[in-house]
Amino acid sequence: MDFTLNSEQRQISEYGGQLARSFDHAYWLDHARRHAFPLEMFQQIAKDGFLGMMAPEDYGGEGLGMTEMAFASERNLFGQPIGAHQGVQNPMAKAYTNIKMASLMARRAAWEFDSSLPTGASTNMAKYAVAEAGIEAVDDALQAHGGSGFTEETGPYEQLYPLVRLLRTAPVNRELCLSFVGEKVMGLPRSY
């Protein structure tokens, strides 16, 4: 299995970065506070031709597989970025590592899907790992920001925690992901 991105996949990845810059922190904060759907972003994705990428060509899509779809540097403490301090840097590095590992499992699930292989094990492991890595990363960001992490101006708590916490529960909660792995992958008795 090869996880190297081809030129088309790199273009899609770069598009995601451009999209994130266009719909910035202020955009997401405004939508979160109003409990509003990010319609403008999805309209832009559709206008740019990316919304129907996974739809089969027979239905007007691109027919692409899932593979193709796939804070602390700013705050200063004692005259240097807070990320230069080991107590902040190490948890951030751990969170980054966990996110990258979750991404690899998601790519494996995508590769299995594209190869018409069973995806249950990899998909459940990826879903579990992504949610847990996201929660840990937000928690580390809160710790790095101290009390200001709970304010409206810089608050990873207000802006990110509800989203990553939702991923732990929906669309499938972590207990069901772990039960699937325990029963179907490890051969343990059914636990629910």
For the chain, 192 residues long, give each residue's pLDDT as a single digit of tens.
677 777 777 777 787 778 878 888 788 778 878 878 778 887 887 788 766 655 555 655 555 554 444 444 455 556 766 566 666 678 878 888 898 899 899 989 989 999 999 999 999 999 999 999 988 888 887 777 777 777 776 666 777 788 888 888 988 999 999 999 999 999 999 987
Sequence-ordered alpha helix ranges (H) in 36-169: 39-47, 86-114, 120-145, 156-159, 161-169
pTM of the model as a whole: 0.63
Q: Which residues make Cβ contacts (< 8 Å) with residue 184, sequence separation at least 6?
A: 120, 121
For 143, the token pair is: 């710790």
- pLDDT at site 58: 60
Among all chains, which residue has been given the structure tokens 């966990």?
A: 98
- pLDDT at site 5: 73
- Domains recognised in the chain with CATH numbers: 1-70 (1.10.540.10), 72-192 (1.20.140.10)
HSE-CB for 183 with a 13 A CA cutoff: 12
Model confidence pLDDT, tens digit, residues 69-98: 444 445 555 676 656 666 667 887 888 889
